[in-house]
Amino acid sequence: MQVRTGFATLVVLAVATAAAVAQQPTAPPTTPYGAPIGLEAARKVMAAAEAEAAKNNWGMAITILDTTGHIVMLHRMDNTQLGSIGVSEDKARSALYFRRPTKVFEDTVAQGGIGLRTLALRDASPVEGGIPLVQDGKIVGAIGVSGAAAPQDGQVAKAGADAMK
């Protein structure tokens, strides 16, 4: 009986150790902030995001922030729920402040355990749909999208962010 108990303890310890190692935080991104995104660049990002949403018949709220965290553009497409306005801004702010897509936080929370600490981070939206906007290797702002399922929000945000390339 003690051999089985000892083996079971070793298995539990091995699984717990593997889970802890898998949840070790990664170093924060080092992409520097640049000058705030200009209106013309924001229009290009917005147009690409809107086109992706329209192509898929998704009603979305799309927010573009500059590096100061202020709104440069906001568009709520027809028939989009009003709650998505604030959510899109939260996602953009999270991507801007933490210099990473909000999908990173979503994945971390989904792991459970130590990853749940992410929920305590101020301005860290743990839902896909926020992406930093990078131009010439510097963060110039962020896009946040809300209105559909998180992967769809992420798809629209990516289309907008890709327009910066």
> Phi and psi at residue 105, in whole multiples of 5°?
-70, -40
Q: Average pLDDT in the 5-24 region?
A: 44
**Beta pairing partners, 63:** 74, 144
Q: What's the pLDDT tens digit per position in 110-120?
A: 999 999 999 99
Taking the whole predicted model, whether its pTM rises above 0.85 is answered as no
For residue 18, the model assigns a pLDDT of 42
Number of domains present in the structure of the chain: 1
Per-residue tokens: 115 = 């990853």
Q: What is the CATH number of the domain that holds 125?
A: 3.30.450.150
Residue 28, CB half-sphere, CA atoms under 13 Å: how many? 8
Nearest to 77, CA basis, from 93, 55, 101, 95:
55
Over range 9-22, report the average pLDDT.
42
For residue 57, tell me if it sits in a domain: yes
Q: What is the pLDDT of residues 116-165, one digit of tens each?
A: 999 999 999 999 999 999 999 999 999 999 999 999 999 999 999 999 98
Structural domain containing residue 141: 32-162
Q: Provide the pairing of β-strand 61-66 with 71-76.
A: antiparallel
68 within some domain: yes
What residues contact 17, with CB distance under 8 A and at least 6 apart? none
Residue 158: C-alpha distances to residues 3, 9, 24, 58, 93 (Å): 53, 45, 26, 15, 16
